[in-house]
Amino acid sequence: MIFPVYYANFIVGNDGGLGDLWWGRVVSLSMAVVAISSPFLGGIADYKGSRKRFLFFYTTISVTAIGCLSFLKQGMVIEGFILATLANIGMEGGIVFYNSFLPRIVPREYQGRVSGWGFGVGYAGSIISLLIAVPLVRDNLFGATWLMVSIFFALCSAPAFLFLPRDTGSEISITEAGIKGFKFTMRTLKDILKRSEVKKFLIAYLIYEDGVNTVIVFSSVYAATTLGFMPDELIILYIVVQISALLGAFIMARPIDYMGPKRVVILSLLMWILVAIIAFFVNTKMQYQLLASFAGLGLGTIQAATRAMFTQFIPEKGEAEYFGIYSLVGKSSAIMGPLLFGWLSSALRSQRPAILSIVIFFLTGLLIIRTVKGGGPNI
């Protein structure tokens, strides 16, 4: 929320959309790296029995890179680009292994609500870190802010490393595990291509998640650049959004199981289409605050419902590989959207036309997901 604005407007300078262009590159490159490596590493984690170890590895990369952001100065565009890319690779790469634990530790009939609770707790953590950051940002202590985030991230990750199931361990070498993991991933892809409903689901997810990721990536930059939000105002705005997202995740946790995740995804996409269209016409901070609060309700909901729907397609003991493919699709979806937004903003010298490009992603994804068979109630 704060760093995209700091990087685009202060480190780069966002005259003519140049900061948007660079920030779009950060997100797209980091997501491309994760997209390419996730299925391969997911297979390695299973064969080597190192799922938890890889989660720790990626988390360490992110925590370290975030801490190093404290040393950035104005004009350090390349250094900021590298560190932000590494931080995002670490976070998004770790999520692959984090997601793969869900079917292993939660019974099927509770996966929807636990998925929702997980996102809800995540939003609660974001709110706490933002509250801690408010006095630092108001005093322009951005270096201290990034250091605080790094420490907070490390502390909140500790319970996962302490309490999640241990790695099983294996005598197979990393190279052998890598080869087996890659081959298994290819077989998984072939299996998915043969399963028409899974294929349609992933295509829909690829498209509409592009819209979701683009909103997440550029919402704060849009607020600061187009509507003139100050950093401390952005924090308050984001806290409100996180609270609404937390409420959305918890409120819809049970309906995901009872209504079925597919219906919840469709309702969320309809809401997102409305939000993107209204955002094009917003002119005041108050209007944007109200719209962002409404949008937050659908943020945690669509993420939790999508993940819960995908788990219904996963065969027994195929969690890591299938979630590797899931990550491949999700991270690939974060490549085109941010690039398109950044390019349109730079080419047209305005962020408003770029907003409308998001509607295309949501609408197309909605039309496809409606045709998918499955996603019914878990109970």
Residue 374, in any domain of the structure? no
Asked whether 320 and 45 are in contact (CB, 8 A), the reply is: yes
Binned at pLDDT 50, 70 and 90, residue 237 comes out as: confident
In the predicted model, what is the mean pLDDT of the chain? Answer: 85
Q: What is the pLDDT of residues 88-128, one digit of tens each?
A: 999 988 887 887 787 778 887 787 778 778 877 887 887 88
* Type of residue numbered 104: R
Residue 98, in any domain of the structure? yes
Q: Could you list the residue range(s) of the whole structural domain that residue 170 is in? A: 3-369
Residue 376, in any domain of the structure? no
**Sequence-distant (≥ 6) Cβ neighbours of residue 155 within 8 angstroms:** none
Binned at pLDDT 50, 70 and 90, residue 320 comes out as: low
Residue 144, in any domain of the structure? yes
- Cα-based torsion angle of the residue sequence 96, 22, 12, 130 in order, rounded to the nearest 10 degrees: -30
Helices 231-251 and 285-311: crossing angle in degrees, nearest 10, is 40
Q: How many domains does the chain have?
A: 1
Report the range of poorest mean pLDDT among 14-18, 224-228, 259-263, 310-314.
14-18
- Of 113, 152, 118, the C-alpha closest to 133 is 152
**Res 165: pLDDT:** 80
**Res 359: pLDDT:** 92
Euclidean distance between CA atoms 222 and 287, whole angstroms: 13
**Res 313: pLDDT:** 85
Residue 375, in any domain of the structure? no
Residue 101, in any domain of the structure? yes
Residue 203, in any domain of the structure? yes
- Give the global pTM: 0.79
R_g (Cα) of the chain, nearest Å: 20
Is pLDDT larger for residue 308 or for residue 88?
88
Q: Alpha helices of the chain — where are they, by DSSP H?
A: 3-5, 18-48, 51-68, 77-99, 102-105, 111-138, 142-163, 174-194, 196-227, 231-251, 253-259, 261-281, 285-311, 319-348, 352-369
Stretch 162-169: mean pLDDT: 79
- Please spell the DSSP secondary structure of 67-131, one letter per residue: HHGGG--TT-HHHHHHHHHHHHHHHHHHHHHHHTTHHHHS-GGGHHHHHHHHHHHHHHHHHHHHH
**Taking 60 as the threshold, does the pLDDT of residue 379 lie above it?**
no
Q: What is the pLDDT of residues 197-219, one digit of tens each?
A: 889 999 999 999 999 989 888 88
Asked whether 334 and 12 are in contact (CB, 8 A), the reply is: no
Helices 77-99 and 51-68: crossing angle in degrees, nearest 10, is 160
**Res 79: pLDDT:** 96
Residue 82, in any domain of the structure? yes
Q: What is the pLDDT of residues 27-84, one digit of tens each?
A: 999 988 888 887 677 777 777 767 788 889 999 999 999 999 999 999 999 999 999 9
Is pLDDT larger for residue 43 or for residue 149?
149
Binned at pLDDT 50, 70 and 90, residue 366 comes out as: very high
* CATH assignment at residue 85: 1.20.1250.20
